[in-house]
Structure 1
C-alpha cells in the first residue's frame, strides 16, 4: 500500500518517514506534502492508498482535505495527526470518515510498531476499499445493523452546524451520527430512542423547525453499507434540493423505489433550456411559464447550473426591461428549488410592476414581449413593423401605438438601437471583420452601417475596434 504524509512541519514528516516500520506492514511512503492543497496536487499524478495528515495546517487544513477526499478520492483511507488539544477536531475528523488518529506525543520509536499495527487492523476491519469509501462506517463501527430497516438523516436548511446533537442523543449513541455530506448528518442506529421521540425533541423541545429537516430513509435492510452511504448522500445533495418545501419538517424516502437518477444535462440541452427561459414572453404568459417550471422540475439541473443559467437570463432581460433584474439576484439565499421558485416569482412581479403604468392586459403585454424577443433574435433580417405585428396577431396601427408606449421608442428607433447595441458587443468581444458584424446586425452595406453607428455612438466602428486592440496590448 502507498502512503502519503501531509504535515506543515518538515521535521514531523521526516520523523514519521524514517521511524515507522513501513516494510513490516507492506507499506511504502511515496510522497510528502506541506498542506492539504499540495496533497491534492500530489494525488493527481500518484496512486495513494493511505494518507496521514495533520489536522491544523495553513492553506488547507486536514479537515478540509478530508472533505475533498470524500468527494474526489473516496477509496483512500485517512489517519489524522494531532496534538491532544485538537481533540474537538479529532471528533469531527472521525465523523467525516478518518479511520484513526495519532497524537504526536505518541510518536516515539518504541511504539511505532503498535501504532501501525492498530491502523492496519482498522483498515482490515473496514472491508474492501475497492467497493467504495466506507470510512464513515469504519470509524463508527457497524453503523447499519443487519436488523435495521430505516435510517434518519438530519439535513440543514441553514448553514448552522448541528450543535443540537449533544442535546438530542445520549452520549452512548452519539458515535452513530456521521456527516455524510456538507450539512447532512446520518443517524443509523435507532435504539434506544424511537424516531418519533427524536422528531418531537428536534421540532418541539429544541425548536429546530425551519432550520433542520428529518429524512426517514426506508428500504435499507441488507444493503451494502458503501452503496447505502452513496445513495443517502446523493439523495440529500440532489433530490432533496428539489423536494424540500417550506414548513415541512419530515420527509420519507424508499431506497427500494425505482431509480430516479438522470443523466446530467449536456451543454446543448442546457443551452436550449436557457434559450427557452430567456424569452420575455414568460413575464406575462402564465401557461408557458408554468410549463417551463414543470420542465425544470423534471430535468432537475444542479444548483450550480441553475445559478449560471438564471444569471445569464437576467443579463439578457436587463437590456429590455425598465429596471435592473440582476440587482435582485443573490444566490447565497437560494439553497433549495423552493427558494429559486419564490425568487423567480418575485423577479416576474418586480418587472411586471415596472410596466404597471401602461394598463395593458397580460395578453397584450405578452404580445409586446414576444415582439421584442423576435426583434432581438433576428437583427440580421430586414425587420418590418407589419410582419412583426402579424406575428404577434395585433393590427399594424395598434401594434405601433402600444409598442411605443411600452418600450418608449418607435418600432424603427427600437430596431436601430438594438442593432447598434448588438454591434458594439460584437466589436468589443469578437475579432470578426466590421463588414461581417454589419451583416449580422442587419446592415449589408458597411459604409451605411458606419454612418449610422457614428451618428448614434459618436465614433466609427473602427475606433471601437482600435480601442479594444489597444486594451488587449496593455
Structure 2
C-alpha cells in the first residue's frame, strides 16, 4: 500500500478527490489532507507519505514552492499536480521538479477516475522500482525485525478491514439499523485513519444517492471517525426521509427503502408480506425476493428482529407490563412475545429489563 496526502485550498475539492478515486483498488491509502503548502509541511513533519496530490495554485505556500521545499526535505516523495492552468509550460515546471502526472481540474468531471488512478499507480510502481535497496529514505527508518512485526500486524488489520469493506459494499446498512450499527462499531475497532474510512464510505453514499434517492450531501469538515459517523447517520436518516416522501416507485431500491421505513413506523400493527407488496405494486413472491436481496434478510425475519429491537428500548425506557410492551410491537400473545424475545436475545424480557435498567439508571 502507498500512502497519499491531498493538498488543495478548496475543501470540497479535497473531499471530492478523496471520495471519487478508487484508492484501495490500486494499492493506495489517503493518510490526510492539507489546505495549503504550509499545512502540508506540518503534516509531513510527523506523518510521512509516498505520494502527494498537490494543487499548484494555493495561498501561503503554493504547489511549486511546496514541491521545491519537499525536494530538499523529503527527496523520495512523488507528486501528482492538480491545476486549472491549461498552459502546459506551467505544468512542465512541476514535472521538472518531480511530478509523475498531472490532473486538469477543468476536465475532472469527465475524467475516468479508474483509468487515471491506474496510470498513476503504475508510475508510482515504476519510480519505486528504480530506487536502490540502499535508499536512505523514510522507508528504511524502521529496523528489519520491527518491520516484520509491523507487517504481520498490518496484514491482520488489512484482512479485517477488507472483510468489513465487503460488508459495507453490500449496502444492507442503508436499510438495516442493526447492520449499520455493527459496521460502525467494527470499523471504529480497527483504529483506522479517518481518511481511509471516508474514501470508501463516501463512494458508497454517492452510489446510494444514485440508486435510492436524490439527497443534498453537505460533507462536513470532519476531524475524526466519530464526527464522520455522525454525519453518515444524518445522511442515512435523510435518505430514509426522502424515500418515505417519494411517490415514484419505479426504482426497486427506493421501493424497498420505503417499505423499510413503513415497517419501522408500524411495528405495532399486523404486517403481512402480501399487503406490504401491494403498496409498491408487486406480487408477494417478487417482493419477497427483492426484499431479501436489498436488506439481506427475509421479510418475516426482518420484522421479527425490528420488533424485538424496539422491545429492548421499551423495556428499559417504560415501566409497563410485558403484555403492554408486546402489544406496542405487534404481539397480542405475551407468551409468544417472551419466546421470540428469548430466542433472539438469549434472555427473557424480564431478565433483559432488570439487567439493562440498572445500567441505564446509573
Task: Tell me whether the two structures share a fold, i.e. TM-score over 0.5.
Answer: no
Larger relative contact order (C-alpha < 8 A, sep ≥ 6)?
Answer: 2
**TM-score, structure 2 as length reference:** 0.37
Structure with the largest fraction of helix: 2
- TM-score (norm: length of structure 1): 0.30
Larger radius of gyration: 1
